[in-house]
Structures are given as C-alpha cells and as structure tokens.
C-alpha cells in the first residue's frame, strides 16, 4: 500500500514574484504553516468575515500592563487559537517571554506538521506600536 504524503502550499503575504516564472512565490509545508500561525496571532476579532470569534488576542494584550499574568494569558490565547484554527499543526510548546521595558513579548512556538514528525520552531516578537 502506497503512503500518501500531504504537501501544504500557501502564497507569501509579501506577494513576492518569482524572478523566472513571474508567478507569486509559494510557501510549502512548514513555511506555509508558520505563515498561517503568524497570521492567526495577529488577527483581531471581527477581522475575518464568517469567523467573528477568530482572534489571536495578541494585539489587545500588548496594550495591557505587562507582568507575569499577561505573559501567562498571552500563552493561553496563542495555544487556544493554534489548537482551534490550525489543524495542520500539532502544537508541542508555546514559550512567551515578556519584555516590559521594550513593551514587547518574545513568542517561540514549537510544532510539528501532520505529514512530518520533525519539530519546527519559529520565533516572533510582538511589539506594541503607538
């Protein structure tokens, strides 16, 4: 019996154009899932039609007073949104480190995609902009 491998594809949100083919650059597998997770983290409520409850909650938390409780709350919101809205990712861990002096959170997400057992880690710094 042949094993079917799934390949995930998505377009880059930068809308870069491939220099040879002239087509939009495609993101595949882990890069596509990383891009989707980052988009989920930065989504506000009511920003996506037909999904009014979809929200990473990061933007709202960035304007709270930063402390251990906001660090914990940010971790819980990120875990919840990935588990609920990104079925391609098997979440392994979420680490959130607050930097109150810089008004920022350093978020490290580790996951594996469904067709690969190797863990993928990516880091994003969430900053509040005035």
All structural domains of the chain, each given as residue ranges with its CATH number in brackets, are 9-13+22-127 (3.10.450.40)
Local confidence band at 28 (pLDDT 50, 70, 90 cut-offs): confident
In the three-class reduction of DSSP (H, G, I as helix; E, B as strand; rest coil), residue 123 is classed as strand
- The kind and range of the H/E element at 30 are helix 29-41
In the chain, the percentage of residues whose pLDDT exceeds 70 is: 95
Q: What is the pLDDT of residues 37-56, one digit of tens each?
A: 988 888 888 888 888 888 88
Cα gap 15→125, rounded to integer Å? 22
Say if residue 93's pLDDT is above 90.
yes
In the three-class reduction of DSSP (H, G, I as helix; E, B as strand; rest coil), residue 73 is classed as helix
């Amino acid at each position: 019996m042949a094993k079917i491998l799934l390949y995930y594809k998505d377009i880059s949100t930068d809308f870069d154009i491939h220099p040879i083919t002239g087509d939009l650059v495609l993101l595949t597998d882990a890069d596509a899932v990383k891009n989707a997770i980052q988009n989920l983290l930065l989504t506000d409520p009511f920003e996506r039609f037909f999904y009014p409850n979809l929200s990473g909650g990061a933007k709202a938390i960035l304007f709270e007073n930063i402390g251990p409780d906001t660090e914990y709350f940010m971790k819980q919101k990120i875990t919840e949104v990935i588990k609920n809205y990104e079925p391609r990712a098997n979440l392994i861990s979420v680490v959130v480190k607050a930097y109150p002096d810089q008004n920022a959170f350093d978020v490290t997400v580790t996951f594996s995609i469904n067709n690969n057992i190797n863990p993928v880690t990516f880091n994003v710094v969430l900053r509040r902009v005035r």
